[in-house]
Amino acid sequence: MRRGINSFLVVCMILWQGSVTNIHAQMQDSLLMLSESQYLAIIRNFHPYLQQAGLAVKQAKAAVRESRGAFDPVLGTGFERKTFDDKLYYSYFNPEITIPTWYGIELFGGAEEVLGDRVTPEKTMGQSSYLGISVPLGKDLVLDKRRAVLRQSRVILQQTRAEQRNMANDLIQEALVAYWNWVKQYQVYRILKQAVEVNADRYRYIRIEAEQGLRAAIDTTEALTQLQQFQLSESEAGLAFLNAGLELSNFLWLDEKDVFAWSNRIIPDTTWVNEQGWITEIPALDEFVTSARMEHPKLQSYRYKLDVLDIEKRLKFQSLLPKMDLKYNLINKGYNALNKVDGAFLQNNYKFGFDFQMPLFLRQGRGAYQQSLIKIRQSNLELDQVQWEIENKIRNYYNELMALRNQINIYENAYRNYQRLFRAEELRFKIGESTLFLLNSRENKMLEAQQKLLDLKTKWYKSQAGLLWAGGRLGIPVLDTE
């Protein structure tokens, strides 16, 4: 898909070199059509905001990898030697490997070589080896910092993906508003341009008849005034169309860093005028609301945030527990700790230890735990408020769509009636039974109705995009995997 879009853009860039300032001249040149699907495809592939969101997802994945590093086995060694006056005081050599596990238990093993004349008494002379285990019995047994950080980083990755979808949802909604505003301005310009052509022909016709004495000279002034009014409106519509295109170009980029070179010869897809999307059945309001509660990326982001805070709360609770660590080493001579193990593990050749620590007042632990509870309460309140706002936005756009559907149906009938009145008046004018003033009045009413109908239709498409945005359905799916 990206290759196809790039080819499309390259062709467009070749054709769009140089800007044309006269919109009448532009309409004589070859035009390039930009449909809604092409427009959205360019945004989704190249807009820098979405590229930044994608980088944020990659950064979150890197954070997951970093937190997993806390469970990597660690290989280390220590070596120390002292000699003085040709005497070997001591020589210590101690390679060791430590293997953390998910449940807070650590396995370790190593070897020792102790030599010298002045070795500390607790050292074992010669070569020895050991296998050991360290088990937390109180604090850090259920959850420790390493596990908490890894769990939080995994949740933050999901939260970042939800934020990416939410950013895309907001951006595409803004882009669609700009697109349909551009479409409307183009259609208004086309209507007025056609009106100018029709009135220019009418003015020439009336001027010829006035010169022949078949019409009053004042009719020439009446026709010219109408033509000039439409020419002014056409110029204003042309300027609005050009400015709407520049606003649209703010959303178009190339290759994440180069802006899209806008050309005034780009026009929107006009096939939508014949489509009747407002006639299609719209799902029930409850379906939109229920779907948004479950799938809206903004709400999902808040829920992931609550998951992160819940992990933090569980970790803070560990501060209320006493720290009790049990350590056991199986020791043997030589470099094979399991060689010739005699008897039970607590009878011979072992090293055993127990550490206990507990603050008397637990003020630090209680304060940290209370803060985590307050953060969760605050986030729940914020989630409830955001969810309520989203549901009301859905209801607002849904009601607007229903109202616009009825208004479009009414105004389509009204526009057809204005067309009939104008054509009848035009026929009467040609046979001399009507005046130019009445004909111009009928024409103005018909064009006003046509522009009003166009405005209602573009509002419907904007509201449709707004409903999908309010429900969180415009965001692009995240395709990357962990």
3-state secondary structure of 101: coil
Place of tokens 């992990």: 311
Q: Beta-carbon neighbour count of residue 152 at 10 Å?
A: 22
Please tell me which residue, 89 or 385, carries the higher pLDDT value. 385
Please tell me which residue, 411 or 28, carries the higher pLDDT value. 411
Rounded to an integer, the average pLDDT of 4-12 is 44
CA 219 to CA 175: how far, in whole Å?
47
Residue 343 confidence (pLDDT)? 52
Rounded to an integer, the average pLDDT of 9-22 is 38
For the purposes of burial, counting CB atoms within 10 Å of the CB of 237, is it exposed (0-12), middle (13-18) or buried (19 or more)? buried
Rounded to an integer, the average pLDDT of 223-228 is 92
pLDDT at residue 226 greater than cutoff 80: yes
What is the pLDDT of the chain when averaged over all its residues? 86
Question: What tokens were used for 356?
Answer: 């206990």
Please tell me which residue, 172 or 328, carries the higher pLDDT value. 172
Rounded to an integer, the average pLDDT of 7-19 is 39
pLDDT at residue 350 greater than cutoff 50: yes
Please tell me which residue, 398 or 257, carries the higher pLDDT value. 398
For the purposes of burial, counting CB atoms within 10 Å of the CB of 407, is it exposed (0-12), middle (13-18) or buried (19 or more)? middle
Rounded to an integer, the average pLDDT of 27-46 is 80
Q: Mind giving me the DSSP string for 142-174?
A: S--HHHHHHHHHHHHHHHHHHHHHHHHHHHHHH
Rounded to an integer, the average pLDDT of 223-240 is 94
Q: How far is CA 141 from CA 105, 138, 149, 327, in A?
A: 8, 6, 15, 14
Residue 271 confidence (pLDDT)? 77
Q: Who's near 379: CB < 8 A, 6+ residues apart? A: 302, 305, 306, 309
Residues in the chain: 482
Residue 158 confidence (pLDDT)? 94
Place of tokens 């280390």: 76
CA-wise closest residue to 424 among 441, 406, 403: 441
CA 78 to CA 74: how far, in whole Å?
13
Q: Mind giving me the DSSP string for 433-480?
A: SS-HHHHHHHHHHHHHHHHHHHHHHHHHHHHHHHHHHHTT-SSPPP--
Please tell me which residue, 44 or 19, carries the higher pLDDT value. 44
pLDDT at residue 4 greater than cutoff 50: no
Residue 20 confidence (pLDDT)? 33
CA-wise closest residue to 478 among 120, 54, 185: 54
Q: Kindly state the helix (H) or strand (E) to which residue 354 belongs, with its residue range.
A: strand 350-357
Chain-centroid distance of CA 13 in Å reads 28
Q: What is the pLDDT of residues 189-219, one digit of tens each?
A: 999 999 999 999 999 988 998 888 888 888 8
3-state secondary structure of 95: strand
CA 2 to CA 347: how far, in whole Å?
70
Please tell me which residue, 139 or 307, carries the higher pLDDT value. 307
pLDDT at residue 482 greater than cutoff 80: no
Residue 344 confidence (pLDDT)? 52
Residue 80 near residue 112 (C-beta atoms within 8 A)? no
Q: What is the pLDDT of residues 415-474, one digit of tens each?
A: 999 999 999 999 998 888 888 999 999 999 999 999 999 999 999 999 999 999 999 999
Beta strand pairing call for 32-34 and 266-268: parallel
With cut-offs at 50, 70 and 90, classify the pLDDT of residue 340: low
pLDDT at residue 145 greater than cutoff 70: yes
Q: Beta-carbon neighbour count of residue 11 at 10 Å?
A: 11
pTM: 0.82
Q: Edge-to-edge, what's the strand order for the sheet holding 87-100?
A: 74-84, 87-100, 106-115, 126-136, 323-333, 350-357
Residue 380 confidence (pLDDT)? 95
Residue 143 confidence (pLDDT)? 87
Rounded to an integer, the average pLDDT of 367-377 is 93
Q: What is the pLDDT of residues 381-394, one digit of tens each?
A: 999 999 999 999 99
Q: Who's near 423: CB < 8 A, 6+ residues apart? A: none
pLDDT at residue 105 greater than cutoff 70: yes
Q: What is the pLDDT of residues 307-333, one digit of tens each?
A: 999 999 999 998 888 888 888 888 888
Q: Beta-carbon neighbour count of residue 217 at 10 Å?
A: 12
With cut-offs at 50, 70 and 90, classify the pLDDT of residue 476: low
CA 152 to CA 371: how far, in whole Å?
18
Rounded to an integer, the average pLDDT of 2-10 is 44
Rounded to an integer, the average pLDDT of 159-187 is 94
Q: How far is CA 202 from CA 89, 314, 427, 450, in A?
A: 117, 82, 13, 20
pLDDT at residue 85 greater than cutoff 80: yes
- List the domain boundaries for the chain: 2-67+147-311+370-470, 74-142+324-362
Residue 26 confidence (pLDDT)? 44
Residue 345 confidence (pLDDT)? 54
pLDDT at residue 73 greater than cutoff 60: yes
Residue 86 confidence (pLDDT)? 83
Residue 269 confidence (pLDDT)? 84
For the domain made up of 2-67+147-311+370-470, the CATH class stated in words is mainly alpha
pLDDT at residue 139 greater than cutoff 50: yes
Place of tokens 């808040």: 302
CA 460 to CA 248: how far, in whole Å?
19
Please tell me which residue, 9 or 63, carries the higher pLDDT value. 63
CA 81 to CA 83: how far, in whole Å?
7
Residue 21 confidence (pLDDT)? 35
Torsion of CA 471, 269, 164, 399, to 10 degrees: -10
Rounded to an integer, the average pLDDT of 332-361 is 73
CA-wise closest residue to 440 among 259, 251, 240, 202: 202
CA 47 to CA 37: how far, in whole Å?
15
pLDDT at residue 277 greater than cutoff 80: no
Question: Which among 15-24, 274-283, 381-390 has the top mean pLDDT?
Answer: 381-390
Chain-centroid distance of CA 195 in Å reads 43
pLDDT at residue 29 greater than cutoff 70: no
Beta strand pairing call for 32-34 and 253-254: unpaired
